[in-house]
């Protein structure tokens, strides 16, 4: 997936530009109803979720599409880190004979080219998924000014993908991150990884910088908890 290039390019300084991702990861782990022993994490990054896992586990398989991010992830006993695109046949083959107490994912699955297919494959290896995904309403004001479409999935598509295979609980939250000046705000857009790899043409970028008159960025996320398989 193209957007992986954005994460990889700024991998070494990513931690200072992923405030919302850290909030989401912490909230996701805090709200878990159990402390699973066999865990599959999708989009592990440099360890935002893992930093909040404070219990012992038998097996923890962490997956990310960026080798640079995998290299930054903490290494501990019973933890295995592998570089896979979670849309790929290679990933599906990797997990098909395995079984996990829980699949967890934060700020990653919104990039899937076929989320329904990913969830279908996950339904074969686990009874429980806890995930948080950005929705297409993230950076909504930017999209309105530039007349561009979000590169990530919308809320309804996310709900449909999970609800096809699981009974679920959903919670959608809008975060606003404030900045002291425009330079900080636009640096965050570029380096946070949320916007993917696409860059605006010069004229649209100029228009955006001129007309973006609020001091915050919008981030809409949806928390997904599976209750049971269908």
* Class of the CATH-defined domain 4-136+151-176+219-229: alpha beta
Task: Specify whether the backbone of 27 is left (phi greater than 0), alpha (psi in -120 to 50) or beta.
Answer: alpha
- Single pTM value for the model: 0.89
Type and span of the H or E element at 82: strand 79-83
- The dihedral through the CA atoms of 61, 23, 10, 86 has a sign that is positive
Instruction: Give start and end residues of each alpha helix (H) in 80-123.
Output: 89-95, 115-123
The whole-number pLDDT of residue 126 equals 98
The whole-number pLDDT of residue 194 equals 64
Per-residue pLDDT of the chain in tens (230 residues, 90 and over written 9): 333 344 445 445 545 667 888 899 999 999 999 999 999 999 999 999 999 999 999 999 999 999 999 999 999 999 999 999 999 999 999 999 999 999 999 999 999 999 999 999 999 999 999 999 999 999 999 999 999 999 899 999 999 999 999 999 999 999 998 888 888 888 888 776 666 545 778 888 889 989 999 999 899 999 999 999 99
Query: C-alpha distances in angstroms, 9 versus 75, 110, 144, 198?
Result: 22, 20, 27, 13
The whole-number pLDDT of residue 186 equals 85
Backbone torsions φ then ψ of 31, nearest 5 degrees:
-90, 0
Domain range list for the chain:
4-136+151-176+219-229
Which pair of tokens denotes residue 76? 């501990």
């Amino acid at each position: 997936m193209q957007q992986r290039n954005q994460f990889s390019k700024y991998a070494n300084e990513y931690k200072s530009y992923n405030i919302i991702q850290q909030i989401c990861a912490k909230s996701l782990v805090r709200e878990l109803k159990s402390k699973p022993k066999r865990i599959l994490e999708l989009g592990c990054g440099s360890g935002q979720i893992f930093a909040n896992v404070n219990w012992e586990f038998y097996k923890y398989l962490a997956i990310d599409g960026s080798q640079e991010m995998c290299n930054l992830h903490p290494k501990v006993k019973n933890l295995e880190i592998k570089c896979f695109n979670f849309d790929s046949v290679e990933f599906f083959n990797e997990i098909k004979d395995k079984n996990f107490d829980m699949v967890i994912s934060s700020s990653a699955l919104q990039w899937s080219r076929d989320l329904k297919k990913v969830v279908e494959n996950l339904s074969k290896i686990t009874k429980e998924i806890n995930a948080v995904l950005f929705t297409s309403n993230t950076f909504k004001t930017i999209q309105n000014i530039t007349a561009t479409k979000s590169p990530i999935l919308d809320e309804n598509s996310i709900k449909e993908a999970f609800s096809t295979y699981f009974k679920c609980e959903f919670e959608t939250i809008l975060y606003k991150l404030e900045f002291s000046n425009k330079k900080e705000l636009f640096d965050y857009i570029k380096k946070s990884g949320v916007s993917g790899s696409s860059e605006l043409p010069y004229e649209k970028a100029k228009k955006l910088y001129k007309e973006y008159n609020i001091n915050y960025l919008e981030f809409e996320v949806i928390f997904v908890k599976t209750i049971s398989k269908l």
